[in-house]
C-alpha cells in the first residue's frame, strides 16, 4: 500500500537473486471478481485470465481491519 515498501521489497528480491517485478494494483478493477451469492466474497477469481496475482492483493486488503493504518505487501510466489 506504499510505494516505498514496494521499492524495498523489489530491491530485496533482486539482491537475493529472485526475478521480481511490481504488479499493477487497482482494486477498483477487480472487485467484481470476488462477488458471491453465499459469502461476503469468494476466495477465487471469477475469470482465471484476469490478473490473479493482483486480485490476490485486493482479497488480502479486504480482510485487513478497517482501522489498520500500517503498511502491508502481497508477495505472490509461483512454483
What pLDDT is attached to residue 74? 86
3-class DSSP state of 9: helix
Residue 45's CB is within 10 A of a number of other CB atoms, namely: 19
Q: Tell me which long-range contacts 66-74 makes (C-beta under 8 A, separation of at least 24).
A: 71/1, 71/2, 71/5, 72/1, 73/1, 73/5, 73/6, 73/9
pLDDT in tens, 22-72: 887 777 877 777 777 887 777 766 666 666 777 778 888 888 998 999 999
Evaluated on CA atoms 14, 16, 18, 23, the torsion sign reads negative
Amino acid at each position: 500500500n506504499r510505494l516505498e515498501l514496494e521499492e524495498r521489497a523489489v530491491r530485496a528480491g533482486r539482491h537475493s537473486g529472485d526475478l521480481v517485478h511490481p504488479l499493477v494494483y487497482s482494486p477498483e478493477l477487480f472487485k467484481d471478481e470476488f462477488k458471491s451469492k453465499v459469502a461476503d466474497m469468494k476466495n477465487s477469481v471469477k475469470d482465471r485470465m484476469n490478473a490473479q496475482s493482483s486480485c490476490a492483493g485486493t482479497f488480502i486488503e479486504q480482510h485487513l481491519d478497517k482501522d489498520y493504518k500500517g503498511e502491508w505487501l502481497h508477495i505472490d510466489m509461483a512454483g
